[in-house]
Structure 1
Amino acid sequence: MTMPVELTVLAVIALMAASLWIPYIVGVNTAPKGSLPADAPDGFVRIANPALQRPWVQRAYRAHLNLLEQGMPFAILVLLADRADAFGPLTLWTSVAFLVLRVAHAVGYITAGARLPLRPLIFVGGWLCCLAMGFAVLAA
């Protein structure tokens, strides 16, 4: 028995959410001397305060938070759709679209390639995917 595409996408999203902290930590730990304010504290306080980091590192932090904000509701909806035996063409294409949008959002956010209005539109696309998945669950 093969795993449905929706659950495979959910596994990839979960792995992405579990790994998207890496760019932030790499950025924090590779800050060139003088790239942080002179009065920035050392150690954990510096790591825990994204506002003290270079712009791309701040964006990496926010990209991770954005994935968690949309990934959790989407994951719950996919699991509910699985439980309700609601998988079909709508849930399949919604899952694929959500994954593509979330990858585009993270890459675009961290690299600053997705600027206004593109990045918010990608985020809204993910929200629409959540609504579509919710519809599939409630219609089941």
Structure 2
Amino acid sequence: MTHTLALVIYMAILTWLALLVASLIRVKGWTPSGTMIALGNRENLPAATPFAGRAERTARNTLENFVFFAAIALVAHATGATSPKVATGAEIFFWARVVYIPVYYAGIAYLRTAIWVVSIVGLAMMISAIL
């Protein structure tokens, strides 16, 4: 397996964790009543706190960007694009996303956007190496 494909797997794990954590934060899954909500059908969820809202938006953004990353990485692999720019772009994307999540949780608006732009630069590097 190539390093880029390994990063797809790592990004899938990170995305799943972001979704899981956002869900647990929303229902306060560490409490007995929150555990019951988390194990149920999630009807009548409590109103999202500002932190829970950020966690949910972080998870959604992570999922949306993972789809693009996975598609680009898989096309690179399928076409045999072996330029170091593909691997470097994938690394940039992955590590930017690792940093993005806690920054978004903390609510640091402009830094969050700057980190997102860095991740997009990583995707652009990958695409430019494929085309």
Range into which the TM-score falls when normalised by the shorter chain: 0.7 to 0.9
Question: Which of 71, 75, 93 is the aligned partner of 1:98?
Answer: 93
How far apart are 1:111 and its partner, in Å? 2.9
Matched, 1:64 2:63: no
Equivalence for 2:102: 107
How far apart are 1:19 and its partner, in Å? 2.2
% same residue? 22
- Superposed CA RMSD: 1.8
How far apart are 1:4 and its partner, in Å? 1.1
Whether the aligned pair in 2 keeps the contact of 1:67 and 1:102 (CA below 8 Å) is: yes
How far apart are 1:116 and its partner, in Å? 2.9
Deviations 1:89-136 (A, max 9, x none): 111111111111001001211233xx1321001111111111111111
Runs of 4+ in 1 over 3 A off after TM superposition: none
Whether the aligned pair in 2 keeps the contact of 1:20 and 1:64 (CA below 8 Å) is: yes
Matched, 1:20 2:15: no
Rg comparison, structure with higher value: 1
Question: Which of 106, 118, 121 is the aligned partner of 2:114?
Answer: 121
State the distance in 2 between where 1:117 and 1:30 align.
28
Higher helix share: 2
How far apart are 1:13 and its partner, in Å? 0.4
Equivalence for 2:77: 82
Whether the aligned pair in 2 keeps the contact of 1:91 and 1:132 (CA below 8 Å) is: yes
Gap runs ≥5 in structure 1 = 33-42
TM-score, scaled to structure 1:
0.78
Letter in 2 for 1:46: L
Equivalence for 1:44: 43
Whether the aligned pair in 2 keeps the contact of 1:9 and 1:96 (CA below 8 Å) is: yes
Equivalence for 1:53: 48
SS in 1 for 2:122: helix
TM-score, scaled to structure 2:
0.82
Q: How many aligned residue pairs are there? A: 120
Whether the aligned pair in 2 keeps the contact of 1:74 and 1:133 (CA below 8 Å) is: no
